[in-house]
């Protein structure tokens, strides 16, 4: 069941009880509320309502523009996470990391023909806890591996 969490600034944060990968707040079977750890660590974009996903994406997806901290789990196989259109997120930064220890690779792709450092894809997330930082200048992506 999907829920809505209203923010102090009038925005809405994704939340649910279905283990949706981009939910920020989840309610477990006992009714307890769980917040994404990154929000507690202050990894919230102060320019708007940007949060962390509580569950890792496990298959090819487009990263929601409402996220800043994006976990990817490639246990079931390698896949590509596509960044949102650059024109919709100028100045935004995404921290994308691989959560699992499998040999599968998490690839990050620009949206459509958009590039990351001059190429359409970035495939550097091949080991557990490897993280990439991707910055949008409004027309393209600049990024690379942090760890």
Q: How do the domains of the chain map onto residue ranges? A: 37-145
Identify which has the larger pLDDT, 81 or 16: 81
pLDDT of 82-136, one tens digit each? 999 999 999 888 889 999 999 999 999 999 999 999 999 998 799 998 989 999 9
pLDDT of residue 6: 36
Lowest mean pLDDT among 3-17, 21-35, 73-87: 3-17
DSSP 8-state code for residue 119? B
pLDDT tens figures, 39-75:
333 333 334 444 566 678 899 999 988 888 889 999 9
pTM: 0.66
Q: Which tokens sit at 123?
A: 């495939």
pLDDT at 31: 53
In this prediction, residue 72 carries a pLDDT of: 93
Give the pLDDT score at 120.
92
pLDDT at residue 53, as a whole number? 63
What CATH number belongs to 37-145?
Answer: 2.60.120
Q: Which residues contact 54 (CB under 8 A, 6 or more apart)?
A: 21, 23, 24, 25, 26, 34, 35, 36
Does position 17 have pLDDT exceeding 70, yes or no? no
What is the pLDDT, as a whole number, of residue 48?
42
- DSSP bridge partners of 35: 25
Q: E-assigned strands of 47-140?
A: 51-52, 61-62, 67-72, 79-82, 93-98, 106-109, 121-125, 131-136
């Amino acid at each position: 069941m999907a829920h809505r969490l209203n923010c102090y600034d009038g925005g809405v944060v994704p939340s649910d009880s279905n283990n949706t990968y981009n939910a920020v707040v989840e309610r477990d079977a006992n009714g307890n509320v769980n917040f994404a750890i990154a929000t507690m660590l202050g990894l919230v974009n102060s320019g708007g309502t940007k949060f962390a996903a509580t569950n890792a994406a496990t298959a090819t997806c487009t990263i929601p523009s409402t996220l800043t901290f994006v976990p990817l789990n490639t246990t079931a196989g390698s896949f590509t996470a596509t960044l949102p259109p650059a024109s919709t997120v100028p100045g935004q930064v995404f921290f994308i990391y691989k959560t699992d220890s499998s040999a599968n690779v998490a690839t990050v792709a620009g949206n459509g023909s958009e590039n990351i450092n001059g190429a359409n894809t970035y495939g550097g997330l091949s080991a557990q806890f490897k993280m990439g930082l991707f910055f949008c200048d409004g027309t393209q992506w600049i990024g690379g591996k942090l760890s």
